[in-house]
A and B are shown apart, each in its own frame.
Chain A
């Protein structure tokens, strides 16, 4: 009887502590770095502009110019600029072109900086 009690006591202790022998399994948290997807837009397509023909009209050649227009089947009407306004227009176009070039260059620099393998984060 004494032995049975002892075995029972030992079994009870093992039974009670059994759960804690292996301990709780630890939750493993791991991080996998997923690189940010690249925007990868293609560069804007280049412009293909249509040609514009300038006609210089003075008080002397006005008749001749209009006659030529009519002969060519073009409406005899011209949208005019003074010489000063023509200069301003030329400078404005130059500035627009420069801004376009600057923006395109900036875009290329950003692309180069952020989308090359060495610098991608």
Chain B
């Protein structure tokens, strides 16, 4: 009788110790999982923050680029208007002028063609010359495309 009780108690003790051991192992496993989860969450938050930062940067770059292109298109419009004005300013008739002052108009036309040609070269990616870059006076600029040829030139108001 006493032997049986001892056996039962021993069995219970062994089972208890085994249960406690298993519980500790489970806790350790849970802890490891939680640690991994924590690391993953931190990584996720970090990558999300990075992504948001990058998105903001991209958005700013797009805005900046749009602004630049819009400004460029506005300059184009102005250049075209200026060209139109040069032909029609004060009811100017280029044909009549050419009859009256043939040589002078020929010289002006040839100079204008030379300037326009240089504008095309610059628009296709040609390097600016030192003279073009430093031009600030109206007499120094390329009047066909001052915004393209002479970045230092500020038109008079």
Tell me if chain B binds chain A.
Answer: yes
Q: Given contacts A46-B124, A83-B95, A97-B123, are A102 and B72 in contact (CB under 8 A)?
A: yes
Is B25 engaged at the interface, CB distance under 8 Å to the other chain?
Answer: no
Q: Are B80 and A94 in contact (CB under 8 A)?
A: yes
Tell which of B16-24, B41-49, B106-114 binds the partner.
B106-114
Residues of B within 8 Å of A, CB-based: how many?
43
Cβ of A105 under 8 Å from chain B? yes
Q: Bound state CA distance, A104 and B95, in angstroms? A: 35
- Is B109 in contact with A100, judged by CB distance below 8 angstroms? no
Beta-carbon contact of A90 and B123 below 8 Å: no
Residue on B nearest A57 in the bound complex, by CB: B102
Q: Are A94 and B106 in contact (CB under 8 A)?
A: no
Interface segment, one of A7-15, A18-26, A29-37, A47-55: A47-55
A97 and B80 within 8 A (CB): no
- Please name the residue on chain A nearest to B105 by beta carbon: A56
Assembled-state Cα–Cα distance A83/B105 (Å): 11
* A87 with B87, Cβ < 8 A, contacts A46-B124, A97-B123, A109-B68 known: yes
Which of under 10, 10 to 19, 20 to 34, or 35 or more describes the interface residues of A?
A: 35 or more
Q: How far is the CA of A48 from the CA of B122 in the complex (A)?
A: 10
Indicate if the CB atoms of B127 and A46 lie closer than 8 Å: yes
Query: Who on chain B is nearest to A84 by CB?
Result: B95
In the complex, A118 has a CB within 8 A of chain B: yes
Beta-carbon contacts of B82-106 to A below 8 Å, as 1s and 0s?
0110010000011100110010011
B61 x A97 contact (CB < 8 A): no
Task: Verify A100–B113 contact, CB threshold 8 A.
Answer: no
A91/B120 in contact, CB under 8 A = no
B125 within 8 A of A: yes
- A98 close to B (CB within 8 Å): yes
> Is A69 in contact with chain B by the CB < 8 A criterion?
no
Shortest Cβ-Cβ A-B pairs, 5 listed: A83-B95, A46-B126, A101-B123, A47-B124, A100-B123
